[in-house]
Structure 1
Amino acid sequence: MPAFPEGTKSTTMTSGGRRKVHYTFPDESEMVEEFDVQTDALVVRKRRSRTLLGGQGEWSFEVGEPSARVTIEGDTLRPSAANPVLVRVDRPHAFEWRIRNLPYPKATYSVSIDHEQRQVVVRTANKKYFKRIDIADLDRARLPLEEEALSWTHEPAGAGTLVLTYRKPAPILKLEKELKLARHQQADEPVVAAGVGGEQPPDCKQQ
């Protein structure tokens, strides 16, 4: 199971307590991953592709969520505090999704797998919420979705959070171990990427 297409290029840099890896694929699409320097946990994974006119598309977040944007007037743009917000986080042995702002009792929720569409489906008995969730890692690896790998719970504190957990299959764990080894080997290589004015940025590596 190859990690990336042949011809993929990557650049690594460390700043703000995160190791950031930027991938450029042969089709000119991009992926950025950010890892906590202390724990090596994946904090952000986002992707974007070229538009039909050749421009850069919007970033799509697989893991983590965008930072709040600040307008010209200095106001911070955030989603409505009342709207459900879905965020994926990664655990060492599982994918996890947290859906905030779901205050309904636990018995209201139904979580299942749609094998035909290859998605996790969340719905509520009161029809207040419905969501289909892709597991991009399994799609890329062409691995089946398994009922026994999925579990969920509801945390009623605050506005309420529905927590979905999907246990990572062995091929994904093996791939992540290989990518981690390659990432750390790359981080130990000499700096070759030049910064503005010919100066080298701190801890920035390219391959």
Structure 2
Amino acid sequence: MAVQCWLDSLKNAKKTALLQDGKRKVHYLFFDGKELAEEYDTKTDALIVRKWRVKNALGAHGPWETEVGETAPCTVAALDPELIKENSSNPLFMRKDTKTSFQWRIRNLPYPKDVYTVSVEPTERSCIVRTTNKKYYKKFSIPDLDRCQLPLDSSALSFAHANNTLIISYKKPKEILAMEQELQTELKKIKVTCDGDVDCKTQ
């Protein structure tokens, strides 16, 4: 079963963990050289960040690709205030999960809720956001379901709109919830390094 295969690959990866600023930071190194970095809230075990890095054909490390959490702002944009000014009103897409749902937030979308449609395209294994005013279109996948080869279910999808932000939720299937719970048990067995004033004994 694909869910078990993925869980086994996480268990078999070389892992190191660090406690810092109320977060458990876990680094995975897979046999194929791929790297995965995750950050969890130590109180709730909620996933805050997930990033991937792969080596290129020459064996050099590529950039970190953010799957969950906010992407660090581009250094060029930080150096050029004009660039920030120009881009500040563009829609900003990011994923921020809850314990029971995969969740995406698209900021800077001022249109009322009835303008949006969010649908699942099972054959393309993706979700699509459209607006009736043709002002915004976004197609995105759910890597967690792809890795575990689980089907997309339109009834799991819902959305809300508030403060110029479209919030899309996809209820996690029971297989994912069970896998995440088992993974948390596994991660808590890793000997952690503490950074700063954290008392490791409390973990």
Give the TM-score of the pair, scaled to structure 1. Answer: 0.83
Are residues 1:55 and 2:60 paired? yes
What is the aligned residue count?
190
Q: Structure 1 residues 74, 113: CA separation in 2 closer, same or farther (over 3 Å shift)?
A: closer
Are residues 1:80 and 2:87 paired? yes
Range with greater deviation from structure 2 (74-83 or 100-109): 74-83
| Alignment correspondent of 1:19 | 24
| Alignment correspondent of 1:8 | 13
Q: Aligned AA for 1:171?
A: E
Are residues 1:171 and 2:175 paired? yes
Give the TM-score of the pair, scaled to structure 2. Answer: 0.84
Residue-by-residue CA offset, 1:52-73 (whole Å, 9 max, x unaligned): 22111111111101334667x9
Residue-by-residue CA offset, 1:77-122 (whole Å, 9 max, x unaligned): 8692101111111111111101000001112111101111100000
Note the residue ranges of structure 2 that are not aligned, 5 or more in a row: none
State the secondary structure of the residue aligned to 1:116.
helix
In 2, distance between residues paired with 1:80 and 1:167? 32
In 2, distance between residues paired with 1:190 and 1:132? 38
Q: Aligned AA for 2:54?
A: S
Q: Aligned AA for 1:46?
A: K
Are residues 1:118 and 2:122 paired? no
Range with greater deviation from structure 2 (91-100 or 4-13): 4-13
Q: Structure 1 residues 66, 56: CA separation in 2 closer, same or farther (over 3 Å shift)?
A: same
* Partners of 2:36 and 2:52 within 8 A in 1: yes
Residue-by-residue CA offset, 1:2-22 (whole Å, 9 max, x unaligned): 314275211111112211000
Q: Aligned AA for 1:133?
A: F
Q: Structure 1 residues 201, 162: CA separation in 2 closer, same or farther (over 3 Å shift)?
A: closer
